[in-house]
Structure 1
Amino acid sequence: MNAMDTPLCLHQPRRVEIGRGAVARVGAFAEGAVRCLVIASGPTAQYVDRLCLPGHVEVIDSVPPEPDLPAFDAVLEVARRVQPDLVVGLGGGSVMDVAKLVAALWDGTQALLDVTGPNRVAGRRTRLAQVATTAGTGSEAGTRALLTDPDTHAKIAVESPHLLADLAVLDPELTFSVPPAVTAATGVDAMAHCVEAFTNIRAHALIDGYARLGIDLVGRYLARAVADGQDGEARAGMMLASYYGGLCLGPVNTAAGHALAYPLGTRLKLPHGLANAIIFPHVLAFNESASPEKTAEVARALGLPGGGAARLLDAAHGFCAGLGLEMRLSQHGAQATDYALWAQEAHAIRRLMDNNPRDMSVAQVVEIYTAAH
């Protein structure tokens, strides 16, 4: 088989609203709803009124950046009290992941651990709208949700078509207030989704198309969005790049880059986007020898020079640092003595590491963390 005839299943939201003011169209979608549950974070709750929702509206604005099982259980308890006929995720990836799981589980008998893994969710009767307020995870497009196990510090992944949004909203105006550093980190996360799917051993011609579009949009618009948060064209371009990245995740998923980033979030408490930005240049360069042609495409789209892995590492690192990101793990509180444990945890995430185009040992993971120190 080749990338054209390899079997593939691609799920997308039933309806997508894009563009300035798109958030106001949630109200029409929600017509007939009696009890609406909006799941948000502190900064995103300001947009609830712009949803124009009918009926009783209950707002939960306490979802943390890296939600764990207790945080999810607290939201689920509220949902079971409210008994919503519409769930709205209003925020970034963490918020939208929680919204997916709440919509699927609040009125059923399955617990979270019952549905961990692929295709174990029994079904969903509650409508789900996902309104993105950052341009990074692409969670509004996908069928996966991630939570952190506080005991093991590992990510719990749930994957099911029943987590798919009935409505996804990409309104660039909701990202105008996102600070430059967050814009930069989430933008690199969106790019990493596309790049890791593009160079993945499971890469497929259909997904390659979305990945190329996403990488190109990042190359054209991320620096502009960081420099001027009110640049509507750049913000819209980055929201679309994030959406394309989300489409890449479903049938192909990410690889070593995200596996190495996860311990930085669970152990070091780094925001997901920043963790991926720190790791991105190192894994891109590491994989260059296994995927030279596609890596060269990535470099061209981002305006980076070719010339081998070492030069690529320097250039990709400069690309991220030039966006204002602090790329040294030591500046985020990491200790060199941490890396052996984190490397073992990252290496054990086989659902991602097994996708990488080049095999990576525990020792090589330590080398990458050390290089990023």
Structure 2
Amino acid sequence: MKEITLLQPQKIVFGTNCIDKFVNDYLKLGLNRLFIITMPVIRPLISNMVERLNKNGIHIEFYEKICNEPSITDFDALMAEAKKFGADSFLGIGGGSILDITKLVATLINSNQKIEDLFGIDLINQKGKWFACMPTTAGTGSEVSPNAILLDEKDSLKKGVVSPYLIADAAYIDPKLTWSVPAKITAETGMDALTHCIEAYTNKFAHPIVDMYALQGIKLIASNIFKAVTDGNNVEAREAMALGSMYGGLCLGPVNTAAVHALSYPLGGEFHISHGLSNAILLPSVMKFNYTANLKKYADIAIAFGAKRGTTDEETALNGVDYITNLSIKCGIPTTLTEIGIPQEAVSRMAKAAMKVQRLLKNNPREVTETDACDIYNNLYK
């Protein structure tokens, strides 16, 4: 069996109301200048936690200006505020965008390295300040992954930083924080988490250890996403989605994603389409392109979805592609680029941009050429 390295936080706390444990854990660290990166809408959800920290003499500064997927400009502004406060620790509470930028700022606050030089794998040269992550969406799995994504405005392309130093010291995954997430965001982030699991399981560098996380994540998300979308207060569905998202995040370090994510980056970079929506639209088209490279694995994931088993692996795999398309429709997610206003004339430049994301394309079970990328995009027009 080939070698694999599993990277994850030193502490993972999972369960409804587990954010209460954060205060007890934090107070044992001997730190007292906590920089919290979040959004105004989240403040009421953590008021008791903040009150307890304040009563114990912890100085807290909030940063609540990240409203969209973060850019290098956002990173620079946040870094300046964190340095001004003199933060000795960080807590990111939010979706993947919040968690990603928290990881980067906490890790680089004492570094002389420039963010523009760190896009790629293993380029960060030292650990930064202590930081923890609390996800409020069941989507990116960033709370347990070594990855962070930023928009490089100069290239109009989202780019990734991957480093073991971006692994959180602690992750507190409290499904209760996802209860108030709107249906649209629940659907899109859920499809992102599902894509992580699918791309890890069918990856060129897949591994049996990671396959366990991936398949279980697929089962949990596929069977619960519609329930969570239609009834945000369904506790069991929210817990299942949070767990499935965490499993997807655990896949990102050792195996990572592939062509769906690579092709989604130009949609986010040029047209500012959300990451989850980009992945959801691209997923069936990429699956249809990929499935012949590993019929058995694509049949496996179809069965994990709950799709109809065919008389052959190929038939089962294609049933899985149809299942994903229909699941998106049920959850109110567009299934074509036409529906979200992406002009077909943009296909060639999106394909060129996607080909720069070799960090992910190299993982794909089939080689993707620029012509292939154009075909995958063009299949999503009606």
Look up the match of 2:345.
Answer: 337
**Runs of 5+ consecutive residues of structure 1 not aligned to the other structure:** none
Q: 1:352 aligns with which of 333, 349, 360?
A: 360
Query: Quick one: distance in 1 between partners of 2:319 and 2:372?
Result: 19
Among candidates 202, 206, 222, match of residue 203 of structure 1: 206
Residues 103 and 126, structure 1, Cα contact 8 Å, conserved in 2: yes
Matched, 1:91 2:94: yes
User: Corresponding residue for 1:217?
Assistant: 220
For 1:282-301, list aligned pairs within 5 A. 282-301=285-304
Match of 1:317 in 2: 325
What does 1:166-205 align with in structure 2 at a 5 Å threshold?
166-205=169-208
CA separation in 1, counterparts of 2:39 and 2:2?
40
The total of aligned residue pairs comes to: 369
Identity of aligned residues (%): 38
8 A contact 1:39–1:60 mirrored in 2 = yes
Compare 135-144 and 103-112 and name the one that shifted more. Answer: 103-112
The CA deviation at 1:340 is: 0.8
Q: Which residue number corresponds to residue 14 of structure 1?
A: 10
1:326 aligns with 2:324: no
- The residue aligned with 2:32 is 34
The match for 2:146 is: 143
Deviations 1:174-197 (A, max 9, x none): 101111111111111101001101
Paired with 1:179 and 1:334, the residues of 2 have a C-alpha distance of 24
Deviations 1:31-53 (A, max 9, x none): 13321100113433443424343
Structure 2 residue 231 is matched with structure 1 residue 232: no
Specify the SS of the correspondent of 1:298.
helix
CA distance in 2, matches of 1:279, 1:43: 30
Q: 1:118 touches 1:160 (CA, 8 Å); kept in 2? A: yes
Moved more, 100-109 or 70-79: 100-109
Shift of the 275–34 alpha-carbon distance from structure 1 to 2, 3 Å rule, reads: same
CA displacement 1:251-299 (0-9 Å, x = unmatched): 1110001111111111121111111000111111211111111111111
Is the partner of 2:87 in helix, strand or coil? Answer: coil
Closer/same/farther in 2, CA of residues 287 and 125 from structure 1, 3 Å limit: closer
Distance 1:208 1:89 in 2: 28
1:25 is aligned to 21
Closer, same or farther: CA 227–91 of 1 in aligned 2, 3 Å: same
State the Cα distance separating 1:310 from its structure 2 match.
Answer: 5.5
Asked if residue 49 in structure 1 is aligned to residue 52 in structure 2, the reply is no
Distance in 2, matches of 1:235 and 1:92, equals: 15
- Cα-Cα RMSD: 1.5
Instruction: Provide structure 2 residue ranges, at least 5 long, that are not aligned to the other structure.
Output: none
8 Å contact from structure 2 (residues 305, 320) kept in 1: no
When normalised by structure 1's length, the TM-score is 0.95
Asked if structure 1 preserves the Cα contact closer than 8 Å seen for 2:158 and 2:266, the reply is no
- Higher mean displacement: 183-192 or 360-369: 360-369
- Name the amino acid aligned to 1:8: I
Distance 1:230 1:301 in 2: 25
Secondary structure at 2:150 match in 1: strand
Letter in 2 for 1:296: A
Alignment check: 8 A CA contact 2:9 2:167 kept: yes
C-alpha contact 2:302 2:319 (8 A) present in aligned 1:
no
Q: TM-score, normalised by structure 2?
A: 0.93
Alignment partner, residue 156 of structure 1 = 159
Contact 2:204 2:363 in 1 (8 A): yes
Q: Give secondary structure in 1 for the equivalent of 2:222.
A: helix
Determine if contact 2:298/2:320 at 8 Å carries over to the other structure: no
Alignment correspondent of 1:253: 256
59-68 or 90-99, which deviates more: 59-68
Q: Distance in 1 between matches of 2:118 and 2:305?
A: 38
Greater Cα shift, 158-167 or 127-136: 158-167
Deviation at 1:312, TM superposition (A): 4.3
Q: Distance in 2 between matches of 1:343 and 1:308?
A: 29
CA-to-aligned-CA distance 1:185-215 (integer Å, 9 cap, x gap): 1111101001101101100111111101101
Cα distance between partner residues in 2 of 1:48 and 1:110: 33
Distance 1:72 1:246 in 2: 22
The Cα shift of 1:125 comes to 4.3
Residue pair 1:135, 1:186 contacting (<8 A) in 2 also: yes
SS at match of 1:289: helix
Q: For residue 360 of structure 1, give the secondary structure of its aligned residue in structure 2.
A: coil
Residue of structure 2 equivalent to 1:119: 122
Distance 1:158 1:260 in 2: 17
Is the partner of 1:283 in helix, strand or coil? Answer: helix
